[in-house]
Structure 1
């Protein structure tokens, strides 16, 4: 008697609303809406029995039906793509459901096929996903989700932090990026919405931790490094260029950084303005950021302060930290950035900057890598290369400083007595 074939359905969740790129599924990519590129690549997966889009917006549904695709309308209340997949089960019978993100127009069908075959193989895998190796620089980015695997390939943990953490700062650490493509058995999806939401999911904002917390195994299949997805207008331009065969410049590597340019209000301070009884304006700085500035300087990495404001408090703080590269009352930060690079002997590929508001966006475009603090407006974050995990005035600059020092091979000043002693005479807070 022959065994029944395992039925595989590829579901592409596609929300129209996006804080960083509204209407993302319908964004034009060389003459086609992005969702069509994803759909057509999904149709190239040999093991798939059915491909469909799950959306909550009639405009997306109309576009899918316009290019001949299948679509299912789902509730607008779903907090995640997995919850949307649960609803799809009511419309589509399958044994394995693959959640393929609608903002991955360059996804490789062969990678999805590897995932499908792993689920079909009958090894008792209830949930499957993908991962690939990355370097230390990318591992420091909290937007990149990292995964640590056990000996058999099952995920031990997912995190936005760089895991595993090299406590002694020595040797080569292998990091793996989690690729957000999932395959679920029907039985797991049926109980997904009944699983409690653990604290680790709330903290990391990673829904797969709900499964691990419930004792459900997640098998991670390793693939070659993947192409970028689309989260921001800049990502969209990069993917367009890749599709046309163009090569866009890569962001500066932290290990090459020679110059760091930082804003003040909203980055080194919490953005608040305080007036004393005499009417003098005061600001609240974070001592950890100050120490981070001095550690960078003592390790040969120049720090420049560029502020749109000027005040005695700001000048005093800069003086206390011994910062010689400073410009106050600046509106055109882009031209000042070019000037600072020349005076520092650093090219754009050796310069990073950090900001928090619209005045910093031109600065972002001049530097090889740009960072927005965690509490910057969404439209500002969309222009930055990376987003820090901490808000301005609460250690955001120190977060960047530590990442640069580790990437430059000077993690010893952070985690060893001998290392810190070598720079101790020049530090201040």
Structure 2
């Protein structure tokens, strides 16, 4: 197993000059830059000490620097030389350039074009790697397909089965194929061989769906649907464990949640906002039950401040550009954890915080990616009683009363 002497680094090569899909590695995949999915797996892996993204692109570097601040102490960007950023540069040449700069005992090469990789895959792979004292280990996928090869006379013949004894799929062991997701190697083995894998090679078998790599636009559509399905399953599992009585702080966005997101102006050109009195009552009820209230909004509006004062809301953060950072300060101030926080939002600027809190909600007219990511989507639209609906859900402990009355 890994000891204190082991230093494991992850290496994610990300080139800016993709031909098939321009700036592919930071194009949004299910609402996030493609490379973020690989970074997630790396930073969440218990065996990896540092994660390096190697790039020649300033745009990609900026995107990496915007990754969730919670993991910035583990994530680093490293420059990629021009000679290793060409169409003809090999992954091995980029890897050798990297290990010449960063010393370790083990290095894991992770491909940004395999967003279906998860931390649990890397954790299991490292356990197998150390237990068997491999020099290298790679990720593989089992494919149950019959392979044929062409002969010189334009006929074909089977490679992996006998046509006289065609196996049923459930009885067919299939064959193992590289999915390109990751390669673990001892540092010394890479130095000696100048290859990503060498010596005594082990394997870790990933789910069949992870066979797909992002090379063409069609791959993008398929993988995005798989990620969407995964996120829904995660949220369904999380929702089944909701215990709203643990909520100690309730936070809400303003425009599109407490309001209908409309922009209204008086004859004098003064901006107006429409709030819902039922939402106000819901917030008051939460406050009466000793739940801390907070508004986190990107807008700097005196109207919001006045509304908050009327409702007795303790925390109002206007002009909030980083809602995760703002919430970090609140949970520290009140000595609570993210699992004690409920948050309701409606747009992409709410997404990162929604993924971190213990209880996440969106209004009925939120953008789709937000609705796909939360524990609960209200029946009501923003500004039409959605916050009251969530308040009722929290205060009723299981939310049965609201669902049965609609």
Question: For this structure pair, what is the TM-score category when the shorter chain's length is used for normalisation?
Answer: 0.3 to 0.5
Normalising by structure 2, report the TM-score: 0.46
Normalising by structure 1, report the TM-score: 0.43
Q: If you compute each CA radius of gyration, which structure gives the higher value, 1 or 2? A: 2
